[in-house]
Amino acid sequence: PDVVPFYGEHQAGVVTPTQGRLAFAAFDVVTEDVQQLAAMLGRWSAAAALMTAGQSVGPVETAPQAPPVDTGEAVGLAPGRLTVTVGFGPSLFDDRFGLADRRPAALAPLPALPGDALEEARSGGDLCVQACSDDPQVAFHVIRNFARIGRGTVVLRWSQLGFGSTASTSTAQETPRNLFGFKDGTNNLKLEDRAAIDDAVWVGEESDQAWMRGGTYAVTRRIRMHIESWDADFLADQESVIGRHKLSGAPLGGSKETDVVDLAATKGGEPVIPAAAHVRLASPHTNGGIRILRRGYSYTDGIDAKTGELDAGLFFIAFQKDAHAQFVPLQRRLGQHDALNEYITHTSSALFACPPGLRAVGDWFGKGLL
């Protein structure tokens, strides 16, 4: 139960029930030799298979006069349902490797979106690795060893740790809470709803690139949450910003978390769930049926030196078939009208094509692409 199978039709770490902790990193490729990149991806694949099974990537006691192959800090720790998910960013498909005609249409860079305050140095990237585990040290061990294996081939571009899941992806899970204190993930896609997942998450025959079939696209957004202003806001206002009750998670007008969000209900001529409430604007019933799989984590990165406020928020991760048809129109709408905007700022953005799962030993990330 502590081990999530690494090999399969799809990569793990997408519909897998959310683990407690996240270590995420984006890398840029520094070699111009595509064979060197392929070899590194092969080594990453073998290492991921071992680490997710709870094993070291190689001996720690290599030889007294050589650096240990595995860095050692995960020895003796349970894998904690570790998953390792790899993706390719749009920039990998520029002229460097002759991959331009293999870039899926859906991997066009994300457009500028309303309210963006993006920091270039923590956005984008040629490759990404998402490591999720119930043990933060096990998740970090993956990023560190991928960087070690990739030395001379890739450099770290940015990384993000997450300390608490902000979404449930299975009906068997309790809904966690985000840093605003609200239950998050109630109306998320759940792995048990196979039809909805196939419809919204996994790339199918419609893709212009066969290598992406069975894959999915990840959007990451580092969303700073201005928790000091939020904490000074009245409870009733917080609830109308989200459109749900804080403690129970019930939609306004309802009494239980699982009650249907009734967007038509009115009281005294006013909508019970306000026009700018987050759940109204994000609902598939008001945006042409768009659904995404949310799988984000809370983060805190110390204090903002300029203001003395906490630099904390949501490292938003969403998986979907086509971010340009799902995340982009959704966020365009939220960025313009969402009452939450008073309390949040999007500070980084990235898009990655996550290829299908590795089938068996010998298969590797990017085999279908390179």
Residues near ligand HEM (CB under 6 A): 178, 180, 182-188, 221, 223, 225, 242, 244, 261, 278-279, 282-284, 292, 313-314, 316, 327, 330-331, 334, 340, 344
Q: Minimum distance between the CB of residue 176 and ligand HEM, rounded to whole angstroms?
A: 10
Q: Minimum distance between the CB of residue 179 and ligand HEM, rounded to whole angstroms?
A: 7
**Nearer Cβ to ligand HEM, position 153 or 331?**
331
3-state secondary structure of 353: strand
Q: And the tokens for 346? A: 């999007």
Residues 29, 98: Cα–Cα separation, whole Å: 14
**Nearer Cβ to ligand HEM, position 107 or 330?**
330
Q: Minimum distance between the CB of residue 47 and ligand HEM, rounded to whole angstroms?
A: 32
Which element (helix H / strand E) includes 48? helix 34-52
Q: Minimum distance between the CB of residue 186 and ligand HEM, rounded to whole angstroms?
A: 4
The DSSP symbol for 152 reads T
Q: How many CA atoms lie within 13 A of 140 on its CB side?
A: 13
**Nearer Cβ to ligand HEM, position 102 or 190?**
190
**Tokens 């995960």 belong to residue:** 74
**Nearer Cβ to ligand HEM, position 69 or 292?**
292
Q: And the tokens for 153? A: 């081939």
**What end-to-end distance do the CA atoms of the chain give, in Å?**
34
Per-position b or e across 190-200, b if 16+ CB within 10 A of its CB: bbeeeeebeeb
**Nearer Cβ to ligand HEM, position 127 or 279?**
279
Q: Which residues touch 235 (CB under 8 Å, ≥6 apart)?
A: 246
**Nearer Cβ to ligand HEM, position 54 or 284?**
284
163 close to 18: Cβ distance less than 8 angstroms: no
Q: Minimum distance between the CB of residue 135 and ligand HEM, rounded to whole angstroms?
A: 25
Q: Minimum distance between the CB of residue 327 and ligand HEM, rounded to whole angstroms?
A: 6
Q: Minimum distance between the CB of residue 259 and ligand HEM, rounded to whole angstroms?
A: 11
The DSSP symbol for 15 reads S
**Nearer Cβ to ligand HEM, position 209 or 348?**
348
CA distances from 171 to 21, 167, 168, 190 (A): 19, 11, 8, 6
